[in-house]
Structure 1
Amino acid sequence: MTTALQNDSFILRLSCKDSIGIVAEVAGFLAQRRLFITESANYGDRATGLFFYRVKFTPENNDFSRSSFAAEFESLAEKWDLDWELRDAKVKPNVVIMVSKGDHCLNDLLYRHRTGALNINISAIISNHTTCGWLAERHDIPYYHVPVTKDNKPQAEARMLEVIEDVKADLVVLARYMQVLSDDMCRKLEGKCINIHHSFLPSFKGAKPYHQAFDRGVKLVGATAHYVTPDLDEGPIIAQAVEPADHRLTAEDMAALGRDTESRVLARAVKLHTEGRIFSNEKKTVIFG
């Protein structure tokens, strides 16, 4: 097995109309330049006719540059009409977390960030309450309290977008942020905003969904992470999970089980997104886990 001369790794992501020979030509391009493939996944969707490819590679030579790669790759990209990007795997994406009062998802993301389980920079935390300020202070992360009412919502969202832009956020995570974003804000964050909610929807809307589920004798508790779109809670799904529930659980037990599931599913979605493993496939996603 060839040993790379440096630790730099890069992720090449591409999509295009499906056809024969794309993988072979891209792999050949990398091989000719002594770019050692360490991870590769591809998928052709017969329903949409689209092809998706993610490949991670390490240069064997120390003279690799992204600009020269782009210049040389352009003719191949034009040939196949590729929508493509090259990422430096060691660069940590900037993430802004938005939260209300419930801190379980926020706390979990902060822990995974602190231990290195998530390769991200948490650049800011935005909340419509002061409840979670102590968590931000403990982790030395800027905390922005932006109250939201029906009268000041446009101004509040403008302030939030200002923060997101100032920290150059690559991703916005709604970690149980309990305000509905306007259509305009959803469009501005399209493709880079993830939400988490219980998977009972469209049933048990509103307050205390787990208590509503308990009253109905629900036997599964689950969570769904998805991209935010103007269609409320109907954006492309990224990750889901369910846990069994039975008659022995109280409403509070079900809520606790729901919090654990939400935290786990949201963290998985953030990891998949920030590692460049998710591709948009019309209204669905293609995910290379």
Structure 2
Amino acid sequence: MSAAGQFVLTLSCPDRAGIVAAVSNHLAANQCNIVEAQQFGDAETGRFFMRLVFESTQHGPEALRTGLDGFAPSLKMQWTLRDRSQRRRVMLLVSKFDHCLADTLYRWRIGELPMDIVGVVANHPIETYRHLDFDGIPFHYLPVDRDSKVQQEAQLWSLIEQSGAELVVLARYMQVLSSELADRLAGRCINIHHSFLPGFKGARPYHQAHRRGVKLIGATAHFVTTDLDEGPIIEQDIERVTHADTPDDLIRIGRDIERRVLARTLRLYLDDRVLLNGSKTVVFHS
């Protein structure tokens, strides 16, 4: 018998009795052993969500996918299956503020984020990031302005396709993606927004927050959609501030929140713990 391969199955379908039994029995019939299971039934949308980690000694990923193709229609099931030994290919987009990029690179290099970084795309030249270690990571300088946006996004899309990027991360990439590109990247593009959405959208959110005298500031990671800063929220965090804090203080505090929110989001996404549920997400924490 060959060594067991470990797989992650995520699924959603209309909620009804017997789903867990049906899925479990299907895996058991294919000599698979479930080692982790999480589920959620959304009473509001009437949909059921599940994440399963299982081992298989008898079948590889293609045979398992073929079996699920035959089984899934009976439950009207949308599903994904990933071999856990396969690392996701990720592209990072960045502008002048590089604290999220620097933190992501550090966590990746020490093995905290198991992914393959297939490229860093910036709208500032590489000299802007001279203190960062890009050794082994392709760097692409794609400047953009109002007149060149269409051409720049065409180049960006070409890089995404050529690199085989499965996930695009806007690591404080201070450019609004066009509706066309956002549509193409639906469900596989994440933005870290420097405020606690849905409040203070758009530019200079910390200045907006300061003018309103907020006592809590935060950061939000969400999927990118055609509606600016309206995509399904994945992760958020906050810090308490006071009347004595200036906008610069809020920016400094915000940088720390942004870094940790993005890191948590990436860990969740890379481990198949984030499922889309219309305008929301289901997030299965460990």
Residue aligning to 1:40 = 37
Query: Does structure 2 conserve the Cα–Cα contact (< 8 Å) formed by 1:98 and 1:177?
Result: yes
What RMSD, in angstroms, separates the aligned Cα atoms of the two structures? Answer: 2.0
- The Cα of 1:237 is off from its aligned counterpart by 0.6
1:56-135 equivalence runs, <5 A = 56-59=53-56, 61=57, 63-130=58-125, 131-134=127-130
Deviations 1:130-171 (A, max 9, x none): 254435654431110001011111000101111111100000
1:217 is the counterpart of 2:199 = no
Instruction: Note closer, same or farther for the CA distance 1:26–1:152 as it changes in structure 2 (3 Å cut).
Output: same
> TM-score w.r.t. structure 1 length?
0.91
Query: Does structure 2 conserve the Cα–Cα contact (< 8 Å) formed by 1:16 and 1:80?
Result: yes
- 1: CA distance between counterparts of 2:198 and 2:273? 26
Match of 1:49 among 19, 22, 46: 46
Instruction: Note closer, same or farther for the CA distance 1:71–1:140 as it changes in structure 2 (3 Å cut).
Output: closer
1:171 is the counterpart of 2:167 = yes
Instruction: Note closer, same or farther for the CA distance 1:136–1:157 as it changes in structure 2 (3 Å cut).
Output: farther
Residue aligning to 2:188 = 192
Instruction: Note closer, same or farther for the CA distance 1:64–1:102 as it changes in structure 2 (3 Å cut).
Output: same
- 2: CA distance between counterparts of 1:205 and 1:69? 44
- 2: CA distance between counterparts of 1:67 and 1:204? 43
- 1: CA distance between counterparts of 2:60 and 2:201? 53
- 2: CA distance between counterparts of 1:135 and 1:87? 36
Residue aligning to 1:15 = 12
Runs of 4+ residues deviating >4 angstroms: none
Query: Does structure 1 conserve the Cα–Cα contact (< 8 Å) formed by 2:108 and 2:115?
Result: yes
- 1: CA distance between counterparts of 2:211 and 2:13? 48
Which amino acid counterpart does residue 18 of structure 2 have in structure 1?
Answer: G
User: Secondary structure of 1:222's partner?
Assistant: strand
Which amino acid counterpart does residue 8 of structure 1 have in structure 2?
Answer: G
- 2: CA distance between counterparts of 1:205 and 1:229? 14
Residue aligning to 1:239 = 235
- 2: CA distance between counterparts of 1:156 and 1:165? 14
Which amino acid counterpart does residue 281 of structure 1 have in structure 2?
Answer: N
Percent of residue pairs identical: 43
- 2: CA distance between counterparts of 1:36 and 1:55? 10
- The Cα of 1:126 is off from its aligned counterpart by 0.4
Residue aligning to 1:27 = 24
Query: Does structure 1 conserve the Cα–Cα contact (< 8 Å) formed by 2:89 and 2:116?
Result: yes
1:143 is the counterpart of 2:102 = no
Residue range with higher mean Cα deviation, 215-224 or 89-98: 215-224
Unaligned runs of 5+ in 1: none
User: Secondary structure of 2:275's partner?
Assistant: strand
Query: Does structure 2 conserve the Cα–Cα contact (< 8 Å) formed by 1:100 and 1:176?
Result: yes
User: Secondary structure of 2:109's partner?
Assistant: helix
> TM-score w.r.t. structure 2 length?
0.92
Query: Does structure 2 conserve the Cα–Cα contact (< 8 Å) formed by 1:10 and 1:86?
Result: yes
Unaligned runs of 5+ in 2: none
Query: Does structure 2 conserve the Cα–Cα contact (< 8 Å) formed by 1:123 and 1:142?
Result: yes
User: Secondary structure of 2:38's partner?
Assistant: strand
Residue aligning to 1:285 = 281
Query: Does structure 2 conserve the Cα–Cα contact (< 8 Å) formed by 1:173 and 1:195?
Result: yes
- 1: CA distance between counterparts of 2:174 and 2:90? 19
